[in-house]
């Protein structure tokens, strides 16, 4: 979604493969209860938004899926509390704008896309942890691959 143009097919495929590989890795840990029909359907939209590079939409959808799955599974610690709080806070900041200090601006769509991509990847990892398990990373705070820039999380 680079400036509303579809991404290059190679970029789409790289994103699709990353998404599917992460889902597979988490899936090896099994599932946390029966995934809800709606959460599963939204997971398809999550992958499409991710492949398109609609990073804020990925965070919003991920937050919705995590809430559905956590409620459905009744798991108390479906993912580390820090990660759940981070996702909920970022999703809420996107949905409930502070007009004096918006978390996402039009300028960000051009100048901060790498940061928002890292946020989206982290959100997807949290979805998979809540839906499938942690894939062997019990208790670890979730970081998307390459999320070591030192930039503050939104």
pLDDT bucket at 132, cuts 50 / 70 / 90 = confident
Residue 31, domain member (yes or no): no
Residue 119, domain member (yes or no): yes
Each residue of 69-110: pLDDT tens digit?
Answer: 876 666 555 678 899 999 999 999 999 999 999 999 999 988
pTM of the model: 0.82
Q: Cα–Cα distances in Å, from 110 out to 54, 105, 115? A: 12, 9, 11
Please say whether the beta carbons of 65 and 46 come within 8 A. Answer: yes
pLDDT bucket at 39, cuts 50 / 70 / 90 = confident
Residue 133, domain member (yes or no): yes
Residue 45, domain member (yes or no): no
* Confidence (pLDDT) at 142: 57
């Amino acid at each position: 979604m680079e400036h509303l143009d579809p991404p290059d097919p190679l970029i789409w495929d790289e994103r699709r493969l990353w998404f599917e590989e992460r889902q597979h890795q988490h899936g090896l840990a099994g599932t946390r209860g029966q995934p809800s029909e709606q959460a599963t359907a939204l997971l398809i939209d999550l992958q499409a938004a991710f492949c398109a590079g609609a990073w804020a939409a990925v965070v919003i959808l991920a937050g919705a899926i995590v809430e559905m799955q956590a409620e459905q599974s009744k798991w108390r610690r479906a993912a580390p509390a820090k990660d759940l709080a981070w996702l909920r806070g970022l999703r809420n900041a996107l949905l409930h704008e502070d007009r004096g200090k918006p978390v996402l601006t039009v300028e960000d769509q051009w100048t901060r896309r790498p940061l928002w991509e890292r946020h989206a990847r982290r959100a997807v990892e949290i979805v998979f942890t809540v839906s499938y398990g942690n894939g062997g990373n019990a208790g670890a705070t979730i970081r998307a691959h390459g999320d070591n820039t030192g930039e503050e999380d939104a």
